[in-house]
Structure 1
Amino acid sequence: MRIVLFVITLASFLTPFTLSSVNVALPSIGREFGVDAITLNWIATSFLLSSAMFLVPFGRLADIKGRKRIFATGIAFFTLGSLFSALSTSAELLIAFRIFQGIGGAMIFSTGIAILTSVFPPSERGKVLGINVASVYTGLSLGPFFGGILTQNFGWRSVFLVNVPLGLLIAFLTYLKLKGEWAEARGEKFDVIGSLIYSATLISIMLGVSEFSIPLIIAGLILLVTFVLWESKVEHPVLEISLFRKNVTFTLSNLAALLNYSATFAVAFLLSLYLQYVKELTPQQAGFVLVAQPVIQAIFSPLAGWLSDRVEPRIVASTGMAINAFGLFVFSKLSETTPLNLILFNLMLMGFGFALFSSPNTNAIMSSVDRKFYGVASAILSTMRVLGQTMSMAVVMLVFAAFLGEVEITPEVYPTFIKSVQVCFIIFAILCLFGVFASLARGKVRN
């Protein structure tokens, strides 16, 4: 079981490492390609968008065909996507390869937690998921740190190239060391039509939100209704609707995850721009500041997971979300004169809040479903995360479009830029408060 934990932990490190290191590299990418803030946003968001489209279909396919098989394929896709991203000659090509990378990320996201939940007994689940969450936050920690160093000394392309040897190592270990297969739904049919409707639904809604297109959002809502009707009558649905209808813990825990990621994902993006433009820090210096939050997350996540094996997860997770809401309100007061010490302290406080929320919430979700739904449950949780991350970036796009327009960030627009950052943090703090109520309302996991 230890080798399974080691391999999944490495993979769980890889994807967030890329996400957070790319945030630090964005200003350098913008300068090389001469693109505006909204295009930079798309370089970050394209990965999330493609991941969200395929998470649930791949989760269901993993339950049927085998979680190890889908996991290994995802590592291959992600590694190739990293290589192609490093070779990009334009912002458009980079966005395209980030989409390809996101498909691999969907395979990894939808299987990792499911494999761990399949292998380890319920009494150890919180601890193991806490270790897995810690690896995610270690990736987030080292991403800004090494991303800043790599970008400053070797250029932004090195941020993608560094993933290639790590991806190859994980693929090698998966092939040689990961014995057995997990497919509790083997023999059931894969719902192709439902998967297509699902992907079309998500892409319509997410593009509609990102592009502020009412017709796309309406189309997405119509597709959503169509999807629910189809899934309710098909024999082997890609997404078991009863998981939401009859399982309050599962539904509200996923809603809490959606609100949490919607409120917090863009924090690193906004602060990266703020620190490098307004505070005039180098990419390396900005990475040193941003590393404070995920380091605290990585330290306390195993403890929070262990705690959720003994205390109701909703109590631990709700406390974490309340801390995050407070931290976001603090960041809504950012100005040109805000001390770096205050930013560091607040990032550390939010890191503690993240740790208290994530692994207990994951434990609550995976403990509330049967084994045959582990892949789908893991995929839905990952979908909430990716959808939340996309919504978080969409809020930034909307606010930037309203305040800045399609202009490069220069000293002349710094006051307007800071105002837009403050508005984003106010919106995020309110979202996080709603998440606290959703987390508290989920009910007990243990009787």
Structure 2
Amino acid sequence: MQEKWIALSNTTIGQLMATINTSIIIVALPAIFNGIHLDPMQAKSFPYLLWLIMSYMIVLSVLLVSMGKLSDIFGRVRIFNLGFLIFTVGSILLYIAPGTGYTIALELIIFRIIQAVGGAFIIANTFAIITDNFPPKERGFAISINSVAAVSGVSIGIVLGGILATIYWRDIFLVSIPVGIFGTVWSYLKLKDVRERASRHIDIAGNILFAVGLIILLLGITYGITPYKNNPMGWTNPMVISALVIGTIMLVLFPFVEKKVNGPMFDMHLFKSRNFSISIFTAFVSAMGMMGLMYMLTLIFQGIWLPIHGYRYAVTPLWAGIYMLPMPISMGIFGVLSSRLANRFDPRWLTTIGLFISAFALLSLVMLTYDFSYMVLSVAITIYGIGYGIFNVPNLTVAMSSVPANERGSTSGILNTMRNTGYASSIGAFFSILILGLALTYPGTITAALTSEHASGFITYFSHIPPTEILFSTFLGLNTVKDVMTTVPPGVVSSIPAGTLKTITGHIWFPETIAPAFMNSMHDVFYVGFGITLFAGIISLFRQPFNVDDVSEKLEDQENR
């Protein structure tokens, strides 16, 4: 009896720590770049900025399936324990990284990758270890606790990063060290494998094909939102096009290779189960919608709503995280509740209803104006969180309960891979829509605003700001106008009345100026989010009936043989 609670608490701590670190760095980037003496908005600094954000997420996405399969071969707890150790070492290296400028920036990226390797070892095994230790009827509840930690970790990371960054930038890495040391020691002493290991054959071809293909594809998506020549985005960049094509071809070839090799990285025959396939697909789409919504809300708060309401740019990342808390809180509450409902009702209906609720919550956000009432927004994101909570746990339970015991590690890995790939894909998809909308409307909007302020001398400098720079400076809690002003010749600045300069460089002028165009583009994003989530809900209707009692008896028979 005690072993299952040790497994749940240990995996939940690991899941929480690993997911917190997907977002904790985002709001702390201004403090980090200030601490290492780099301007994050300089052209040479932009790749470092991008990789500090994306490297952790990309490494997680690439390694999760491989680590899941290795855990089936070498032991889930052994790989999980090693993950805690690697993650802790990475956190220590991040905290003590020496140097300044581009040298330490590169060091931080490398150490973030090491940290992500440890995170992949941890996350890849959490659902499998829980499934191994809990009887079928209790798995939904256990998975719900762990899933709540995973979803909440993203929001907690934003708030925690904002708080720690105001103290000392290295503290965002320090916070993981004591947790990592405790988790490493405790899991080594207390957590035990309860299942026999699978065959010891390692699918080298499949691992290489999947890892390289996914890396290339995600690199293409990442650089697709960066400016290329005179274009606001890089989707016409030959390197990006090549990466998308090559990565896609390699991933399309992956299942065909897996059917031919002995001891495949992932047993493609599992996809013959309709419930399993739908669970994997909806996990990807829902993760894409959820993370996309969190990014968009962060931009709305930091770029528009908070500055207009008098918040200093330096504190907007922190308050954006705080104002988004209703969403993860409702996800957590209804995630636990749905685990209980899944024992009484067919999970097919819970997953479908949950996705429909989330979809229509996204649709309701289209009615927001830039000066919206926070109460209206909080209700909408709470409803979204309710829908996601109702969907997520039954979906994971169905997937993990649909596979044999010796495939749970790789299944846990692919579930988390699809979720993290959804996170990364949301950046490419939703940011592209937003950037395209701003590219079309921003120049005319800013020209009219500067003309009305009798500051036409600034038009040349302000109308050519890349939309990507506007979004990233917003995301970093920086004042875009003050950053642009450093490029304006002193003679032009001196020709503008002092009162006009004070207005333009203040908290309110730029956010109010771009707000209509910004929100119109944001509405397009919400429409797309509504569409893909609704589609996932419709697909979820085609699951086969799933009865927990029947599955429990079948699995118990299999596991007792």
Decide: shared fold, TM above 0.5: yes
Q: Which amino acid aligns with 1:66?
A: G
Q: Secondary structure at the match of 1:445?
A: coil
Q: After alignment, is 335-344 or 21-30 more displaced?
A: 21-30
Partner of 2:84: 75
1:192-203 pair list within 5 angstroms: 192-203=204-215
Could you tell me which of 203, 224, 249 is aligned with 2:251? Answer: 224
**Shift, 1:332, TM fit:** 3.6
Q: After alignment, is 310-319 or 95-104 more displaced?
A: 95-104
Partner of 1:211: 223
For structure 1, list consecutive stretches of 5 or more residues without a partner in the other structure: none
Could you tell me which of 147, 152, 155 is aligned with 1:133? Answer: 147
Partner of 2:20: 17
Partners of 2:119 and 2:220 lie apart in 1 by: 22
Given that 1:115 and 1:182 are in contact with CA atoms closer than 8 Å, whether structure 2 keeps it comes out as: no
Could you tell me which of 260, 273, 283 is aligned with 2:286? Answer: 260
Partner of 1:157: 170
Deviations 1:355-375 (A, max 9, x none): 111111100101111111101
Q: Which amino acid aligns with 1:259?
A: V
Task: Evaluate the alpha carbon distance shift between residue 424 and residue 84 of structure 1 in structure 2; reply closer, same or farther with a 3 A threshold.
Answer: farther
Partner of 2:183: 170
Q: Secondary structure at the match of 1:444?
A: coil
**Shift, 1:265, TM fit:** 0.6
1:289-438 pair list within 5 angstroms: 289-399=323-433, 401-402=435-436, 403=439, 404-408=466-470, 409=473, 410=480, 412=510, 414-415=514-515, 416-438=517-539
Partners of 1:418 and 1:224 lie apart in 2 by: 36
Task: Evaluate the alpha carbon distance shift between residue 13 and residue 72 of structure 1 in structure 2; reply closer, same or farther with a 3 A threshold.
Answer: same
Deviations 1:100-128 (A, max 9, x none): 22222211111011011011111111111
Partners of 2:540 and 2:55 lie apart in 1 by: 29
Partner of 2:494: none
Task: Evaluate the alpha carbon distance shift between residue 134 and residue 407 of structure 1 in structure 2; reply closer, same or farther with a 3 A threshold.
Answer: closer
Task: Evaluate the alpha carbon distance shift between residue 393 and residue 85 of structure 1 in structure 2; reply closer, same or farther with a 3 A threshold.
Answer: farther
Partner of 2:235: none
Given that 1:36 and 1:406 are in contact with CA atoms closer than 8 Å, whether structure 2 keeps it comes out as: no
Q: Secondary structure at the match of 2:345?
A: coil
Partners of 1:401 and 1:85 lie apart in 2 by: 32
Partners of 2:526 and 2:118 lie apart in 1 by: 31
Given that 2:14 and 2:123 are in contact with CA atoms closer than 8 Å, whether structure 1 keeps it comes out as: no
TM-score if structure 2 supplies the norm length?
A: 0.74
Partners of 1:302 and 1:372 lie apart in 2 by: 27
Partners of 1:362 and 1:26 lie apart in 2 by: 33
Partners of 2:269 and 2:112 lie apart in 1 by: 34
Identity %: 32
Q: Which amino acid aligns with 1:223?
A: M
Partner of 1:102: 116
**Shift, 1:239, TM fit:** 1.1
Q: After alignment, is 220-229 or 368-377 more displaced?
A: 220-229
For structure 2, list consecutive stretches of 5 or more residues without a partner in the other structure: 225-239, 440-465, 474-479, 482-509, 551-561
Partners of 1:230 and 1:351 lie apart in 2 by: 39
TM-score if structure 1 supplies the norm length?
A: 0.91
Partner of 1:443: 544
**Shift, 1:11, TM fit:** 1.0
Q: After alignment, is 396-405 or 428-437 more displaced?
A: 396-405
Deviations 1:286-307 (A, max 9, x none): 2321222111222221111121
- Cα-Cα RMSD: 2.4
Given that 1:67 and 1:375 are in contact with CA atoms closer than 8 Å, whether structure 2 keeps it comes out as: yes
**Shift, 1:160, TM fit:** 2.5
**Shift, 1:136, TM fit:** 2.4
Larger Rg: 1 or 2?
2
Q: After alignment, is 161-170 or 92-101 more displaced?
A: 92-101
Q: How many residues align?
A: 444
